[in-house]
Amino acid sequence: MSSYQAEYSADEQAAIDKEFTRLANNKSIYLDHAGTTLYAESQVAAAAEQLQRDVICNPHTCRLTGDYVDQVRYKVLEFFNTNEQEYHVIFTANATAALSLVAENFDFGRNGNFHYCQENHTSVLGMRERVQARAIYMLKEEQISGRGMASVPSVNGGSTPAAAASATNLDNSLVTFSAQCNFSGYKMPLEAIAGIQKQGLPHGPGRRISGAATEAESSHNNNYYVCLDAASFVATNPLDLQRYQPDYVCFSFYKIFGYPTGVGALLVSRRGAEAFGKRRFFGGGTINYAYPHAMDHQLRELFHQRYEDGTLPFLSIVGLLEGFRSLERLVPGNTMARISRHVHGLAQYLEQQLRQLEHPNGQPLIELYNRVGYEERSRQGGIVAFNVRTDASAFVGFGEIACVAALQGILLRTGCFCNIGACQRYLQLDDAMMDAIYKRAGRICGDYFDLIDGQPTGAVRVSFGYMTRRQDVDELLKMLRLSYLATRPQQRLQLIEEQASELPKALKERAQRLRPQLLQLAIYPVKSCAAFKIVGGGASWPLTAQGLQYDREWMIVDMNGMAVTQKRCTELCLIKPHIRADQLQLHFGDSPAAVSLPLSLADQAENSSRCRSKVCRQPVEGLDCGDEVAQWLSEHLGLEGLRLLRQSSLRSSSNGEQQQKQLSLVNQAQFLLVNRSSVRSLQFEESLDETVDRFRANIIIDTGAAFEELSYKQLTIGQVQFQVEGPCQRCDMICINQRTGERSPETLTTISRLQSGKMRFGIYISRISAANNKQQLTCGDVVVVT
């Protein structure tokens, strides 16, 4: 078992627990301190008592309020081990407002550039819309920290320190990054701050996102300034501004104290203040005077007064004093350093425990996302990000995890946590996949659209605060063990559905979509030719007594009346059917030219002669579709004497004691179902859609677990019930790429290897007789296994 060493004494832990009895009363375990930490009960009681005791009003009117605000400024500077000679404190609405203030007021000059780290909060990306920079660049973390990278020479052959630039140089570049990644908890080496200020970006300017490039993209003659997004970091770590001196520091107080909300701060160094340009806006309280009759005004003398527009949220600011006092009382000594050790110890313990969780077959349950592990507190904070995997290594959607956790009273976060860049980096999403997620699939920040083609679009995040206990971590581990190692998926989904009414609205909607859904229907009008696909939410197709309407209703026969299949002629896959109104149109490849046939069997019979053939050794009665289509087929397939036959009488199959099923020109059963998760497990180099097409299924689902379908006995899709007839035994026809007609024999050998010599892939299913024969299947229908 992994060891855990408590940071607090028993008396300290008891005092902290006493402040958060509401968690036990509400049967809640709170694990989202990176979102916001929780306030102590005595903290808000003392703040309320102060409001009742003192007359606190507008600081322009009340000297007492102004004194309180000044006390808070002093306390903020003390908290960060600095003073008013080194930094100005500007109160803002939150960290986002502080970042906006920097973006609006930083003077880039003519050639200054804006650089930001890929793994940044969305609010940092928002700075791009307001900065007046020549160009905007995205940096990788390595280009900031310098880990494992060589310097990029400047245009004159050397790395020119920014400090060597002319003192009169007006071109300033701004580099913004987070002290701690709110996705993974990785801590950026703060030593990089001084290096950037002195040397610029010796490891390259990053990837240019917008604007014109300078003569040398490194802007080697610019003065470099650093804006540190410290919102995640300072919540549980000490930031020593005597040791590290960024030009701008942005943070929100609710991340540290939990209460009050609606107030943050921007700390501006003396050097940083010099790089702020002339304000393009002023508000009440920032000026000595402003004439209405002329374009004339004068800003306040004190730096912070010029940027605090309007009346400060003085009640919230005054409430911060009790926040500082509460932290110091509950975690005495070197408060923030002790909190840092506490949360890191919990994260380290959780990470060690998660690594030990395995399915019975030895597959790990957890996929962890971190950069350097949890050994060094200087590089990793109290955050653990992960996803859950099945015993077949498929990902479980984070929306499902959120539902399970919520029903157990565990409050955690899922998604990308307003840090899409970190999500992209840790989930290894390329630019095309990002477009697939956000532009084509329509995912938005904060939703529960968690899987695309089995790949996660976000993660699960747990994060710790000073009041988190090891027992809270153990409860999370217990939930994961019971729900994902000791419970079958169908049982788990049923439990979630039964308790869905207890979930928040957003999760309730996600709970209704946990079951697999019908993703796609494929109709093969002409046996062995290409599919006509029905795809997209809400797209429907009618059912007949034989299966999907028009499925395998035609087939191509040779001059001897024998069916022609892809085993003999791979080019059949290039014949593409389109069903338009009352016509079946056949195209060859991408050619727009087509031959058409009537869909109406009665219309076909008027001008057709009868003929016979065989399918799976059973005789088939059919109608010859005429000379025009016969000649078209022979020309495109290069075979003489081909004819197109349409089935005119029903075939039946009998499976033991089961009732007879009416069949079209299929080989064995009415429908063939394939699970995309099973296809995904083959890991072919071609696209997943191409591999799915090889198996020529009618019904495509995605359960998240490979080969789960092989254990099904019965299932319901929407309102339609199906009986499983058995697995589909595969032949070498699946070796044919259905888009090109090329053969790749490794398809069969891969399936054989995965199934210990067996050739099963997909399942045959038949519709259970229903009183209503006018049923249909609709893409998006829920799949329930019974």
Active site residues: 418
Distance CA 526, CA 693 (A): 15
Rounded to 5 degrees, what are φ and ψ at 497? Answer: -65, -40
* Gyration radius from the chain CA atoms: 33
What is the sign, positive or negative, of the torsion defined by CA atoms of 356, 499, 723, 779?
negative
Distance CA 710, CA 760 (A): 9
Element (H, E) at 720: strand 720-729
Q: Provide the token pair at 90.
A: 């500007």
Kind of pairing, strands 207-211 and 248-252? unpaired
Tell me if residue 513 falls in helix, strand or coil: coil
Q: How many CA atoms lie within 13 A of 189 on its CB side?
A: 14
* Residue bearing tokens 């703060």: 190
Distance CA 568, CA 743 (A): 12
586, 594, 739 from 589: Cα distances, Å: 10, 10, 9
Q: For the sheet with 618-624, list strands across it.
A: 554-557, 643-647, 618-624, 610-615
Whether 339 and 332 have beta carbons less than 8 Å apart is answered as no
Give start and end residues of each alpha helix (H) in 54-171.
63-79, 95-105, 122-126, 141-145
Q: What is the DSSP string of 304-331?
A: GGGT--SS--HHHHHHHHHHHHHHHHHS
Distance of CA 220 to the CA centre of its chain: 37
Rounded to 5 degrees, what are φ and ψ at 457? Answer: -100, 0
Tell me if residue 645 falls in helix, strand or coil: strand
Closest by Cα among 334, 332, 347 to 377: 347
Whether 385 and 461 have beta carbons less than 8 Å apart is answered as yes
Q: How many CB atoms lie within 10 A of CB 194?
A: 14
Kind of pairing, strands 383-389 and 413-415? unpaired
Whether 693 and 505 have beta carbons less than 8 Å apart is answered as no
